[in-house]
Structure 1
Amino acid sequence: MNYEILLGLRYVRAKRRNGFISFISLISTLGLALGVAALITVLSVMNGFQKELRTRILGVASHIQVTGYDNELGDWQQVADAALKNPDVKAAAPYISEQAMLSFDQTVRGAMVRGVLPAAEDGVAAFSQHMRAGRLADLQPGGFNIVLGIELARALQVRVGDKVTLIAPQGLVTPAAVLPRLKQFTVVGVFEAGHFEYDASLALIHMQDAQALYRMEDRVSGVRLKVADLFEAPRVARALHEQFAGQELLVGDWTRQHANFFRAIAIEKNMMFIILSLIVAVAAFNIVSMLIMVVTDKQADIAILRTLGASPASMMAVFVVQGALIGGFGLLLGVAGGVLLAGNLDVVVPAIEKIAGVSLWSSEVYFIPELPSEILWSDVITVTVIGGVLTLAATLYPSWRASRVQPAEALRYE
């Protein structure tokens, strides 16, 4: 082993005469560990939020939608069959999307009405898993039944079995005036997707009832598709767009339809990464002050080594090794602590709430039963690399100072 590494290890293990240097070294190590652990934990929580939001949105939305230019599609079965020829497309379901007003007992709410085929809809969405009352299969053709989002049902103050009046924007033209089209629907189910946009505005009816109500005959608004890998949806959408070239069809995927939600989370994650990286940088550069004090304390040792033939580069390497070992230990401690904390938030948060007697996470406010967390090893590796680079950078200036020590000046008063 090179003597530079041996000296660096000795300086780390040795009991220093100046206890303040040891204290600064301990603070630097703990500060770096705390900053790295906090960065990994926060990034894991942001990943968990992103996954939770994606799961809730795609529980009621589709991976890909194929629609006509005028929001009407004639032969939807042909489009569905053509899309299913793509090996990445696993299921297809037609739908009708229209606006309406729902009225019950002098309460009126706007809603987005979606006409579906219950059996086919289960293949592209997870409504059956989100039903809080009734079943999606209770939507029968000609029965004029309706399934409401839970927030929409609360706003209307309706329960299963109540009858709501649906007011369609397409009116009936009479000699006196244009009258709105009214139809009573029986509430047969309530779903809770966990996403307020859908829970507060979405209503499901059978597709044949929607065609009759909105006078669409055998036409639909489009076809919803489910792909094997949701992250491949943009690529599959581009392939379908080329497949349907020449036809008046629009192909969109979930990353475009809900881009604002995921863009907001990505921006928040990046900003939190930058802010917490500054904390790691501050902790790493505490090593600078510690090493400068060590260099000042060891000037006599440096001068003696120089007179024995040690080169300036060797002196620089000694203190780089010392700083790297201290920073590396703090980095390793922070990574281990961050991974353990991020992986056990479901245990740590309730324990803190029980000890402190306060509620840190309310499911009634956030509509999520527990703080979500997902550890991505790419994030852990990125944090480790950044922490290592900052630690090595922090050792350069003190090490350079050590290499510039003049033996004669340092030993003049010894």
Structure 2
Amino acid sequence: MFQPLTAAIGLRYLRAKRRNGFISFISLASVLGIFIGVVALITTISVMNGFQEELRNRILGTVAHATIEGVNGSLPDWKRAVAVAEKDERVLGAAPYVQTETLLQAQTKQGALLRGIQPELEGRVSELPKKMVQGRLDSLTPGAYNIVLGSELAAALNVRVGDSVNAFVSESVATPFGSMPRAKRFTVSGIFSVGAQEYDYGLALVHMQDTQALLRMGDDATGVRLKLDDIWQAWSVARDLANRMEGIYQVRDWTRDHANFFRALKMEKTVMFILLSLVIAIAAFNLVSSQVMLVQDKQADIAILRTLGMSPAQVMQVFTVQGLVIGLVGVALGTVGGILLSNNLGVLVRFIEKLTGNELLPADVYYISGGVPSVVNPTDVVIIVAVAIIMCLLATIYPAWRAARTNPVEALRYE
């Protein structure tokens, strides 16, 4: 990219001892600033990637990757839908469900989502059987009218395993006293905790046949939940399966059900990237200052090079090489430091917690256990490195341009 002569002179200026120690100090500060900025940016983005992946895994451990539903909230031929789905190699599991909103009443009242499932099939589409903290999911048997609650929902209702809960649904029933909401008493047989407030606080599970009886749906289901081998193909796979079945169906996938949540995470990641990039920009301004002072200090050298036949463009390349090398050193050190810090952040956090005696990320607040999640994405690292190098390159343009404009006669007049 640069001529060998200009590169050799630029690198020689880096190795030579400068008469002005302040210039060397500013250059060192520039390297340190770029190093800190790149480390902070890589670490922050890696932690946000970790939180995003952790939350996505927890959400997808509770909800289906995709669902196929009837257009009127009822799917009579759900058995055919399950059979068609299970024949597809892209589908890892399929299970029917019945779902409705309910008002649960015990010592207090709390709204929730009532989901009727078949316990023996639930493990194919979610991680709920592994998330039980009390009782077992297979305690949901037809006709027993047992119910499994999220941990926070159980706490809000102030109930434990063995207590009774009344469930009210929107469908009404005629009585001598007028129209009354349909209700049924359930017995709490288990409590689960997935670490996501939306489900720990707002989901209740019963057997599908009990929900069908409560809603008087007969043998119909609300839809079929699917677990796929590739979550990013959820929409296309579910639509393909629906097209194979006769009739009209509604297809939904996890990205649509939680689009706002993941869009907010992506926007937050972008904003943090922009804000922390300003740290690198500040370090680049320090690089401008050090290069401007270096150009001023090397006026005589520049004049001599010009008189020997070096063109202004070549002079500009000399100082561009020098400034860019300073920036590349900071970027390289920052990249290595950021990756090492991101991969060992959990160890560092545990050390700080042990040293201070305080928990930095309480599990009951952040729903994260086992340390700080951190995922180093190579694409993010490449983008950060590219942005840092471009900033460093831009920072060298003005000082190099000033060096190229040096008048040899004026520079050597007082030498």
Per the shorter chain, which TM-score range?
over 0.9
Pairwise mapping of residues 1-400 of structure 1 onto structure 2 (< 5 A)? 2-104=4-106, 106-244=107-245, 247-369=247-369, 370-400=371-401
Q: Give the C-alpha shift of residue 339 in structure 1.
A: 0.7
Structure 1, residues 333-358: CA drift from partner, whole Å, max 9, x if none?
11111111111111111223334454
Structure 1, residues 177-227: CA drift from partner, whole Å, max 9, x if none?
113333221211100011111111111011111111110100010000111
Q: Give the C-alpha shift of residue 32 in structure 1.
A: 0.5
Q: Give the C-alpha shift of residue 408 in structure 1.
A: 1.0
* Cα distance between partner residues in 1 of 2:310 and 2:61: 68
Q: Give the C-alpha shift of residue 247 in structure 1.
A: 2.1
Q: How high is the sequence identity, in percent, across the aligned residues? A: 52
Contact 1:95 1:224 in 2 (8 A): yes
* Cα distance between partner residues in 2 of 1:390 and 1:198: 45
Contact 2:84 2:241 in 1 (8 A): no
* Cα distance between partner residues in 1 of 2:62 and 2:9: 63
Contact 1:240 1:251 in 2 (8 A): no
Q: Give the C-alpha shift of residue 72 in structure 1.
A: 0.5
Q: What SS does the corresponding residue of 2:211 show, helix, strand or coil?
A: helix
Q: What SS does the corresponding residue of 2:374 show, helix, strand or coil?
A: coil
Q: What SS does the corresponding residue of 1:293 show, helix, strand or coil?
A: helix
* Cα distance between partner residues in 2 of 1:148 and 1:275: 42
* Cα distance between partner residues in 1 of 2:11 and 2:358: 46
* Cα distance between partner residues in 1 of 2:32 and 2:5: 28
Q: Give the C-alpha shift of residue 248 in structure 1.
A: 2.1
Q: Give the C-alpha shift of residue 140 in structure 1.
A: 0.9
Q: What SS does the corresponding residue of 1:373 show, helix, strand or coil?
A: coil
* Cα distance between partner residues in 2 of 1:391 and 1:33: 12
| Residue of structure 2 equivalent to 1:413 | 414
Write the letter of the residue equivalent to 2:334.
G
User: Structure 1: where are the runs of 5+ without partners?
Assistant: none
Q: What SS does the corresponding residue of 1:147 show, helix, strand or coil?
A: strand
Write the letter of the residue equivalent to 2:40.
A
* Cα distance between partner residues in 2 of 1:139 and 1:355: 46
Q: What SS does the corresponding residue of 1:179 show, helix, strand or coil?
A: strand
Write the letter of the residue equivalent to 2:209.
Q
Write the letter of the residue equivalent to 1:74.
P
Write the letter of the residue equivalent to 1:178.
S
Q: Give the C-alpha shift of residue 65 in structure 1.
A: 0.6
Q: Give the C-alpha shift of residue 55 in structure 1.
A: 0.9
* Cα distance between partner residues in 2 of 1:345 and 1:203: 36
* Cα distance between partner residues in 2 of 1:308 and 1:170: 95
TM-score, normalised by the number of residues in structure 2 = 0.96
* Cα distance between partner residues in 2 of 1:129 and 1:53: 17
Contact 2:68 2:242 in 1 (8 A): no
Q: Give the C-alpha shift of residue 306 in structure 1.
A: 1.4
Q: Give the C-alpha shift of residue 45 in structure 1.
A: 1.1
Over the aligned positions, Cα root-mean-square deviation in angstroms equals 1.5
Structure 1, residues 1-31: CA drift from partner, whole Å, max 9, x if none?
8222221111112221101101100110000
Q: What SS does the corresponding residue of 1:74 show, helix, strand or coil?
A: coil
TM-score, normalised by the number of residues in structure 1 = 0.96
